Chain A
Amino acid sequence: MKIHILGSGCQNCMKLAKNAEEAAKAKGTECEVIKITDIKEIMSYGVMQTPAIVIDGKVKSVGRVLSVEEIKKLL
């Protein structure tokens, strides 16, 4: 499983990435968390706000720092 975190690399983006890593670990899901900070690449997903989380190519949330529990439900 691949999780992409879209955002400039600010505190919120970092927190979302950390939560995603924790959620995957808690569920025992093997996954790679990749941070995308390039604005052109972020825009290619069509999102208008960050941070955003993309799981296996599908945008799941925009503009919010999801909690570990919320991310676990998406995995």
Chain B
Amino acid sequence: MTQLTAQRPDLATAPLEPVRRVRVAGVFTIAIVAVVLLAAIHLTQGTSSVNAGDLLKLVIGQGTDNSANVLVASRLPRLLAGVLVGLALGVAGAGLQSLARNPLASPDTLGVNAGAYLAVVIFAAFGISLPTLPSGGIAFVGGLAAAVLVLSLSAGGTAGPTRLILAGSAVAMALAGVTTLLMLLYREETIGTFAWGAGTLVQTDLVAVKQMAPIVAVGIIGAMVLAPKLDILALGDDTASVLGVRVRRTRVWITLVTVLLSAAAVTVAGPVGFVGLVAPVLVRLIAPLVPGLMRHRVLLPLSGLSGILVVIASDVVLRAILGGQAGVEIPTGIMTMLVGAVVLVWLARRFRDSGPSRQQAGRAGGGLRTRRTFWIVTVSLVVLLVAALVFAMLAGDAFLRTGDIVNWINGRSGRAITYVLDTRFPRVLSAVLCGAALAIAGATVQAVCRNPLAEPGILGITGGAGVGAVVVLMAVPTAGIWLLSGVAAVAALATFALVYLVSWRGGLSSDRLVLIGVGVSSATTAIITFVIVYTDPWNISLAMTWLSGSTYGRTLPQVIPVAIALIVLTPVIVLARRELDLLSLDDDVPRILGVRLERTRLVALVGAALMTAAAVSAIGVVGFVGLVAPHAARALVGGRHARLLPIAALLGAVLVSVADSLGRTLLAPAQIPAGLLTALIGAPYFVYLLWRTRAVKL
């Protein structure tokens, strides 16, 4: 596994450096002054005409009642909410990073925010209106469950950054899938939670802030009490035990405290993205200049201050650029998410690759099954696919019978059946083709990245295509499928090029590629939400479809780009199957055998990106297929790509097809987008994969 060879020594020894009191005090002073200045600017921004002059008059006792009211009932609540959320998330982030001994841990990457948010939405959907305090308790339980799951999947975070991030992303995606589903089905009940879901600071009273402030205070005091033990824990579990720290108990306590802080923040403002990641990073940046900054007694409160700076600065910049009105329309969390994504990418770029000690994705030699097994699996899957196809054609609001299909094929069916099958056919076809395309793209990406957990979605390619498609839909509502596919393809390639180039540091490290991909894919989610909220805020169905994938209303022309991509690109990838086998081994073997490493990689990845883009423009953003299908295929027939690719394609086709059929039938006549069900089927399987391999370091 890639170790944080650059960071580990800092993390381990920095806490023990002597504290330079004067310099540390200086840093605190600068941070507090910055917070005060930003807060002052923050107070002058808003949707009313009350400006800096009015507030100044208020200070010298000549203000109007109006400006006093605006200050007390709108500006201050918003500012205080920002301060409380920033503080809580900053401290929580620093605590989680120390707990996981991993600078990429945060309330977002551990799924805490997603868990807490889901818990809140469940209550909104079922119309259970709770006072702030118990609803904070619900958020705490949701966040805690998610954190415990992710931490146990990633061996407490010590299994390395890639594993932590992937476990966190998978759990967060699955939870977000359930959240979206609820919002889709309870549209009127949850109308207020959509923008709120990205984290907003709009506050109408101080109730939430007042009720959550004591909880945040308890959390911070708890963290400070634990601080000396965290210093010792940074030396390693064994050393800490020898020095008399009860490692397990300390870990449990710090988990509870940090989840409590994150849940309080979600209760006040919704999941404000990535603050817990960015805040401690900023502190770590200046740590080399100021010895002692990494002592937890200093690190924790300073991360809190840093968190306040991030939240308030994001809010100030958003409203300075787009005007006070934007502060209502655009959730602050979108801004912090974009900032956070940049920081995540920057952090990932600093990782050094510790060499070829990793387990390969392909293990082309290992896990090889007999030819007989391969054929049995192939035949079974073909039968299964045919069964899935037949089931998909039969299933719906009203179940048809096979005789109906026979009649339909022979052109003898009646009007109603003909129509139902005519409309079902493109849907079924798009599900099957997109499933196959995403699976092939996933298998290719995993081979090239030499990481069994990579996939087009995690590399940001799917999100990039989604951004392209949504922008086209908003700019040219009448756009045809070719324009949509074209722009989605260009955007997917551009996003991929960005990820590829940024990951390049004298060579391509696959772990760096995955980490940077996760950062970029978060950014694309933020951009899609931004575009929809800014241009068509009332079109929630559109938002849901483009953020979760749907086969609804597909027609045959929309399926053509995917079909073409499959027909043209599959042979290319199949021709490169030997190279893919070699690539998935390590860097040296292919070079020795005369494979032009970078060119092959690039061709394979471009092919995968194009296939992904075609699939996304047909059915929207569908995750997990590219991840799960190749994995299952590898388990069935081993890692040789000549066998892996067809099996993965079949599995992908079956998975999306079944998800689509279920989506149309489970709650009929209401329809669940196929992408959501794919996530709900795929995510648990992925979590299971992580669980099974948790002892083996990736």
Asked if A and B bind, the verdict is: no
- A contact set with B: CB distance below 8 Å: none
Q: Which residues of B contact A (CB under 8 A)?
A: none
